[in-house]
Structure 1
Amino acid sequence: MLTRLSITNYALIRELEINFSESFSVITGETGAGKSIILGALGLILGQRAENLSLADKSSKCCIEGTFNITNCNLEDFFSDNDLDYEEFCIIRREITPQGKSRAFINDTPVGLNQLKELTSRLVDVHSQHQTLLLQESSFQQSVIDSVAGNGPILSAYAKVFRSLNEMEKAMELLLKKNQEARNEQDYLNFLFDELEKAALKPGEQELLEKEAEVLGHAEEIKARLFNAAELLINSEDNILRRLNEVANLLQQAGRHHPEAGSFTERLSACIIELKDIAEAVNHLDEATVYDPEKLAEINDRLAFLYNLEHKHHVKSTDELLEKKSEIEEKISGIASLDEQIEKLKKQIADGSRELIRLADELAVQRRKFSKPIEEAVLQTIRQLGIKDAGFCVDISKLKVPGPFGSDRVRFLFSANKGSDLNDLSKIASGGELSRLMLAVKSLISSNNLLPTIIFDEIDSGISGDVASKTGSILTKMSEKMQVIVITHLPQIAGRSNEHFKVYKYNENGKTFSSIVKLNNDERVSELALMISGNPDLEAARETARELLKNN
């Protein structure tokens, strides 16, 4: 429940703080005093957007802070899932800078508006005139039945299956599209694969062939150079090895008389041995090099074939062609597996559809089971609220296709006059009738103790006299199970509360501000007398006010 609300620098409010009790509180005040401002500030910590926000002091930030007692609200999982500190007294704060930037905090930890809304939606139900219009919507009417019937777990399971089915159906659309595209491409892929398969490609083949073609293409030139090299080394009369042997003999003779000259002989002998090996290798290479035009033509044909394949597949080597072949093979295998994937997904969709129908049927049974008790409870309350000849019915029909909340269409049918046909609320209910119907519905929902706090703004629209007194009685009964806060203009409702706050305006330094004060018993008498007669000092009105408080 909401235990404290602090507002600083918001609209006409410079600074105020309200401490609420756990039962029934009312807020009153003259029109324009600032009651709606307080509700607007509360809306900010409930996650509403800070649009067109006006600040009392343009140079300072706005700060709204609320303290909530969340004991027994089963919110531990929310705090754990969002990595937030759990405290029995949870502090929610919203700050807006003069530049319009907004920040939200839960127990001093920064959070996003979605997190803020998720938490506060489980703490507070704010009922305003706008929400009364929701009563005309089928989705809201259905949520009322589900709340009273306790359909939360079934709805949660249904929603999970419904989302899963939607995802699977989208996946099926993509698979079928992919399968069709693959089928259109399959013949071409098979052709490409067969072509590469028949090519009998080998890793590094292109590079090896290019080297061999280079040799064969210059074979005559290579042989001539090798022959000349061999001639110079060993074959000519004046060859290098013969000359070196002569040098070696001269050095050997000189070495008989000079040791250092002898050392040259050893080094030169090593060179001669190396040159003989080179000469033999050159001879061998000369003999092995053969000019073969046919083989060169064969290699060039193979290279041309490989180059064409590479150009076709936008690659630059045989190895990349082999990679392309593997990719094409994977695509062909993937096409074959698409049929298996489609069949598997079809089965999953069929199983999910059966489970969705089962849950929808379970919801339908529950809704029809509770529709009659809801009708009776709502009728009893709205008749207490002055619509003596009211008729009310919960009409449940079956949808052709299950929707996000089941296979039912729920309509609240109503008539205010005896003998009139029941019809949709949007067609026949007035504003005052809608307000009383909504109060009846909220009273019914509160008996399930679904939320710790409910706030009513303008629930008293279009009612007065005995109906107002009955409304006060209903609100009092609701406050036995939850915290009830009501903004009202009616003394019959204000007199039934456990605590009474008054919003007022005051002037300071040429500016107007709004604030709030909790009234003691004497002040309540004066305020109620003012609400009754417009004169807080009129004794008859004050006596009536005392009677209202005495009956509380």
Structure 2
Amino acid sequence: MSIPKKAKTQLTELSIRSLGVIDSAEIEIGSGLTVITGETGAGKTMVLTALNLILGSKSDPDLIRNGEDRLVVSGKFQLTKELIDQAEEVGGQVEDGELIITRSVNNQGKSKMVFGGVASTASQVSEFGEELIEIHAQASSARLAKGSVQRNLLDSFAGHEELSSTYVSFFEEFNKNRKRISELKNQLQARDLEISKLETLVNDYEKVKPKAGELAELDNEITKLGSIEALNTGISQVLANISGEDSSIISLLYSDKRTLETLVGKDSNLDKIIERFADISYELSETNLDLERYLANLEADPHRFDSLQSRKSELNAFVKKYGRGEDREKALS
């Protein structure tokens, strides 16, 4: 049984500048066998090093030739139709079936990779480079122990490329669906968590049952109950001045009011002033009564004070847990 030869890629040109002992070198590689010979230290190893750098291996500024700022290596590869499509998919430019990969490393360790005229990364090129060239060195046969390599060799020998491609397609679809299922599960978990948070909010709201303007009312009453003594003393002093038994303001105003009333009708302009004076006297009298009623209802209530403080703490804890912004009343609404 004859097995058709599978099209392969080919390295056609290698350019090296300032790499190790090599100052500058251009190597053209034809079809068939190409042998590079030289004495020890001539730079044969640097050729393999250049290839590894081009194919995405780790860079090292120590590889730069003494006295130079950077090294530059590039390789030109003749691609198969399949690899041409793959290269163009990732943005690489392929001309006449040839792809150029360039790698530069400066003396600060910074590396730059250009894949078909487009900036790329060493890891991206490394994945593509596995299909470009195969380097055999010491212990290279250890690669054959990898399951993936054995499967590829077996599929290639048996001509199962189409079956393998179909399997890969189904496997990718499987992974895509598995990823989607995982995303949906995560979304469900996030939804359940959000529902749980909302349920906790509703339960806490039902327990606290805040009312509009309640915090302002609490603050006002707490301040009032905490200032009973000062309020009592201040209002009592004012009432003593306004309506006390000895020369109170109200008694003097009423006396003056009666005097002014005897002058009504003698001058229209004065009549207006007397009318305003009468209004002020009446307003002061009403204010005096309001202060007396307020003072009569003013009393200390320690139990009420403690209850208000407890309610305020409960509302503030709710605001701190669920509120947004600095306005406490808006946070409760």
TM-score range, shorter chain: 0.5 to 0.7
Please name the residue that 2:32 is paired with: 24
State the SS of the aligned residue for 1:27.
coil
Q: Which runs of 5+ in 2 are unaligned?
A: 1-9, 325-333
Distance 1:277 1:153 in 2: 102
Matched, 1:149 2:154: no
Moved >6 Å (runs of 4+):
166-173, 265-271
Q: What is the CA-CA distance between 1:205 and the residue it aligns to? A: 2.0
The correspondence for 2:251, drawn from 229, 237, 244, is 237
Using the alignment, how far apart are the partners of 1:212 and 1:60 within structure 2?
A: 79
Tell me the CA shift for residue 133 of structure 1.
1.4
- 2:5 aligned residue: none
Alpha carbons 1:206, 1:303 under 8 Å: kept: no
**Which residue in the other structure is 1:450 paired with?**
none
What is the CA–CA distance in structure 1 between the aligned matches of 2:99 and 2:206, rounded to whole Å? Answer: 71
Name the residue aligned to 1:291.
Answer: 297
- Structure 1-normalised TM-score? 0.42
Q: Which residue of 1 aligns with 2:120?
A: 111
Task: Name the SS of the counterpart of 1:95 in structure 2.
Answer: strand
Taking the aligned partners of 2:121 and 2:256, their CA distance within structure 1 comes to 96
Q: 1:135 to 1:214 in 2, by over 3 A?
A: closer
Give per-residue Cα distances to partners, 1:46-96, cap 9 Å, x unaligned.
1011247433333342110223455831032211xxxxx634254321112
For residues 34 and 42 of structure 1, what CA distance do their matches in structure 2 show? 13
Given the alignment, which residue of 216, 219, 230 partners 1:210?
Answer: 219
In structure 2, what is the equivalent of residue 123 of structure 1?
A: 132
Q: Residues 71 and 152 from structure 1, CA distance in 2 versus in 1: closer, same or farther, beyond 3 angstroms? A: closer
3-state SS of paired residue (2:52): helix
What is the CA distance between 1:134 and its match in structure 2? 0.9
Further displaced range: 123-132 or 234-243: 234-243
Equivalents in 1 of 2:57, 2:255: separation in Å? Answer: 102
Kept after mapping to 2: 8 A contact 1:64/1:93: yes
Mapped pair 1:12 → 2:18: no
Looking at structure 2, the residues matched to 273 and 112 of structure 1 have their Cα atoms a distance apart, in angstroms, of 95
Aligned to 1:161: 174
User: Which one-letter code corresponds to 1:303 in the other structure?
Assistant: L
Q: Tell me if the contact between 1:64 and 1:95 (Cα under 8 Å) persists in the aligned partners.
A: yes
Which of 140, 143, 146 is matched with 1:134 structurally?
143
Residues 439-489 of structure 1, C-alpha deviations (whole Å, 9 max, x = no match): xxxxxxxxxxxxxxxxxxxxxxxxxxxxxxxxxxxxxxxxxxxxxxxxxxx
Change (3 A) 1:102 1:125: same
What SS does the corresponding residue of 1:239 show, helix, strand or coil?
helix
Aligned partner letter, 2:160: A
For residues 100 and 286 of structure 2, the distance between their equivalents in structure 1, rounded to whole angstroms, comes to: 93
Aligned counterparts, 1:485-524, within 5 A: none
Partner of 2:90: 78
Count of residue correspondences: 290
2:314 aligned with 1:305, yes or no?
A: no
**Higher normalized contact order (CA 8 Å, seq sep 6+, divided by chain length):** 1
Q: Which residue of structure 2 lines up, in the alignment, with residue 350 of structure 1?
A: none
Secondary structure of 2:174's counterpart equals helix
| CA-to-aligned-CA distance 1:354-388 (integer Å, 9 cap, x gap) | xxxxxxxxxxxxxxxxxxxxxxxxxxxxxxxxxxx
Deviation at 1:208, TM superposition (A): 0.7
CA distance in structure 2 between the partners assigned to 1:2 and 1:128 by the alignment: 17
Q: Is the 8 A contact 1:231 1:239 kept in 2?
A: no
Q: Is the 8 A contact 2:232 2:298 kept in 1?
A: no
Q: In percent, how many aligned pairs have the same letter?
A: 20
1:17, distance to aligned residue in structure 2 (A): 1.1
Distance change >3 Å, CA 163–CA 300, structure 1 → 2? same
SS of residue paired to 1:7: strand
Q: Which secondary structure does the structure 2 equivalent of 1:105 belong to?
A: strand
Give the direction of change, closer, same or farther, for the CA distance of 1:111–1:321 in structure 2 (3 Å limit): closer
Amino acid at match of 1:18: I
Tell me the alpha carbon deviations over residues 209-266 of structure 1, each in whole angstroms, 9 at most, x when there is no partner: 231243355364465356357549x9622139947x95xx79x97xx9xxxxx7xx79
Residues 321-332 of structure 1 mapped to structure 2, 5 A cutoff:
323=323
- What is the correspondence of 1:169-208 to structure 2 with a 5 Å cutoff? 197-208=206-217
Give the drift of 1:40.
Answer: 1.6
Higher share of residues assigned strand: 1
Indicate the SS of the match to 2:218. helix
Identify if the C-alpha distance between structure 1 residues 49 and 195 changes in structure 2 by more than 3 Å, giving closer, same or farther. closer
Letter in 1 for 2:239: F
Question: Cα deviation per residue 1:155-208 (whole Å; 9 max; x = unaligned)?
Answer: 2542563586489679979x99xx9xx9xxx9xx97x97676344332442331
Give unpaired runs (5+ residues) of structure 1: 80-84, 257-261, 311-315, 325-552
Residues 218 and 312, structure 2, Cα contact 8 Å, conserved in 1: no
Q: Is the 8 A contact 2:18 2:68 kept in 1?
A: no
Structure 1 Cα separation of the partners of residues 18 and 129 of structure 2: 22
Alpha-carbon distance, 1:146 to partner: 4.7
Cα distance per residue 1:292-328 (max 9 Å; x no partner):
658x456424323225536xxxxx466446649xxxx
Displacement after TM superposition at 1:130 (Å): 3.7
1:41 maps to which of 39, 50, 70: 50
Alignment partners' CA distance in 1, 2:117 and 2:21: 26
SS at match of 2:26: strand
Q: CA RMSD in A?
A: 4.8
Q: 2: distance between equivalents of 1:124 and 1:57? A: 29
Amino acid at match of 1:27: V
Quote the Cα distance in structure 2 between the aligned partners of 1:99 and 1:322: 52
2:63 counterpart SS class = coil
Q: How does 1:303-382 map to 2 (within 5 A)?
A: 303-307=308-312, 309=314, 316=316, 319-320=319-320, 323=323
In structure 2, relative to structure 1, the CA distance for the partners of 1:300 and 1:160 (3 Å cut) is: farther
| Letter of the structure 2 residue corresponding to residue 24 of structure 1 | G
C-alpha separation between the residues in 1 aligned to 2:323 and 2:254? Answer: 53
1:146/1:152 contact within 8 Å kept = no
